[in-house]
Amino acid sequence: MRKNQLGKSDLYVSELTLGCMSLGTDKTKTQEIIEHALSVGINHLDTADLYDFGINEEIVGSAIQNKRDQIILTTKVGNHFNKDTKDWFWDPSKEHIKSGIKNSLRRLKTDYIDFYMLHGGTLDDPIDESIDAFEELKKEGLIRAYGISSIRPNVIREYVKRSSIDAVMMQYSILDSRPEEEILNLLQQHTISVLARGPLAKGILSNKGQQQIERKSRDGFLDYSYEELVRVYDEIKDIIGVNSSFNTNALQYVLHHPTVASAVFGASSIDQVTENAAITQATPMSEEKYQAIKAAAKQVQYTNHR
């Protein structure tokens, strides 16, 4: 599987990232899914301290214990949570970031994080303080690179101006084209990569998309009504052809922009990993097909999340 440099760092991540939030709490099953992901060429795992209130990190840590050198490991910080009461509050302070990594390292059973992200962010945050915390962790050798997970254009711009982030994780798919208007080219100009989460739009853009639309999207998705989702799905299906994988085309679409280093998908089974990893055997997406798919979808913009 192709690997792409993450920003200006020395990290090279596979073009597909296994998002670990959906793995569940069965340790044996999780280990099997992760091992299968590694076997098909995926080297990047994404988790967060908040997922299952630390349990996800613990399970991932156990699964990768003897494979740490094969993996680019990402986790996130910024949500100050109580595992017992299952509540949390936003805390981007330097103190929390520097204490949060100690807990993540313990749960993940490792002595460093490859890529560490702030798990959100607003313009009201002490941004310089947060940046200082990440820079200190980098100097201390506890992290190799850092970035933010955010869909807020104004927050992203502040980090572009004020920090040395190497990547931004954001929601991006055929149905969620918001980054195309404001963010992707800006990040490319500053050699900052994108980790595109939600590329399959909750399964709507998968091979089982029609069933997902009927089961889970009767009330629509983002700016799309149910009727629009049905229309767009059918139009894209006609463009890609009946024998072409919808998963593959949806993943190829977000990877088409040169600043997107990896498409982040969730999986709760080995079959889902296999289905997405089929991208390695696919013919590259042509510019003509890319433009046709783009034209079929609605061009949505950021209104909230400023």
Is residue 116 among the annotated active site residues?
Answer: no
Q: What is the CA radius of gyration of the chain?
A: 19
Instruction: Considering the candidates 12, 51, 116, 159, report the single residue annotated as catalytic.
Output: 51
Q: Exposed, middle or buried by CB within 10 Å (0-12, 13-18, 19+), for 233? A: buried
Q: How far apart are CA 1 and CA 98, in angstroms?
A: 34
Phi, psi (rounded to 5 degrees) for 112:
-155, 155
Distances (CA, A) of 260 to 3, 71, 179: 11, 19, 11
Q: How far apart are CA 24 and CA 41, in angstroms?
A: 22
Going by C-beta distance under 8 Å and a sequence separation of 6 or more, which residues neighbour residue 173?
196, 198, 199, 200, 201, 205, 250, 253, 254
User: What percent helix, strand, coil does the chain show, rounded to 5?
Assistant: 45, 20, 35
Do 2 and 15 touch, CB atoms closer than 8 A?
Answer: yes
Taken in order 275, 278, 279, 285, is the CA torsion positive or negative?
negative
Residues involved in catalysis: 51
